[in-house]
Amino acid sequence: MKLLLLDEHYPPELLEGFDVVREPEEDVVAALTRGTARVGEELFAQLPALRVVGTATVGFDHVDVEAAEQRGVAVVSVPDYCTQEVADHALALLYALLRGIVVLDRDVAAGGWNPKAAGPLRTLAELRVGIVGLGRIGGALATRLVALGAEVWAHDLLPVDRSGVRPAGLDELLAGCDVVTLHVPLTGETRGLLGPERIESMRPGALLVNTSRGEVVHVDAVLAALRSGRLGGAALDVLPREPPPDVPVAPNLILTPHAAYYSPAAEERAYRLCLARVREVLGVV
């Protein structure tokens, strides 16, 4: 079976049994990506025998799923490959904001030794944290937060009953929580979910954490809210353009380079699960 490889990072040993090509050919039955290239109608038109697209990522917004469905092409992803890594990263970003870790480190590196250089510091157990998207990752983070003593609210399109977590509407959550952390896929409904009006509706001094997709948040509105003091801090692992042409700068802003997913074990798991699901669609082992 001929397989079109659109991302060179897939380990060769996982591709055994396929005739791997790097350019579209008419008899290709499977294509593999990892979000580095858009997969849509233009490519599908060159692959009349295509049966499945595999992406070694949680999200699949880089794949035109509607066009795939119209052509009878299955799309498989790996939403379960980095749940613990992203939940840990979101919690780490939250702690970095609460405890001023980045500011304190930079102050010491610059020759300072001032425990108050980051301003007033807070503890997690005194805060109300709102989780937007209570799926695998949001649920894993909720488990951590409840165990650490935080009051946890959550909003999800499909309400989930979880011990220790209070369901809330999105606007209620934004207005009522000290921290908002985002864990939703990028869809037509979630693109721009936190625009200027919703950011303005957040509790004064609130903290924002985003480890989902950059386009879910209106970044310019976040920067403006940080500069005005409307938001107390923000930690973003994702941006609308990656890497950004200009790195955003604002008070109490922490940026990481779309690294929440990463551990060597998770990376291996992503490729392995993706290939397993592609083989399942094709009916081969």
**Is 198 among the residues known to form the active site?**
no
Given the residues 162, 198, 213, 277, the one annotated as active site = 213
Per the DSSP assignment, residues forming a β-bridge with 182 are 132, 210
- Long-range CB contacts (< 8 A, 24+ apart) of 47-52? 47/4, 51/281, 51/282, 52/76, 52/278, 52/281, 52/282
**Is 9 among the residues known to form the active site?**
no
Given the residues 42, 242, 268, 280, the one annotated as active site = 242
**Is 242 among the residues known to form the active site?**
yes
Q: Are 133 and 162 in contact (CB under 8 A)?
A: no
End-to-end C-alpha distance for the chain, whole angstroms: 12
Residues with Cβ within 8 Å of 256's Cβ and at least 6 positions away in sequence, in order, are 89, 93, 235, 236, 237
Q: Measured at the alpha carbon of residue 177, what is the angle toward residues 234 and 93, in degrees to the nearest 5? A: 30
Given the residues 191, 258, 269, 272, the one annotated as active site = 258
Residues marked as catalytic:
213, 242, 258
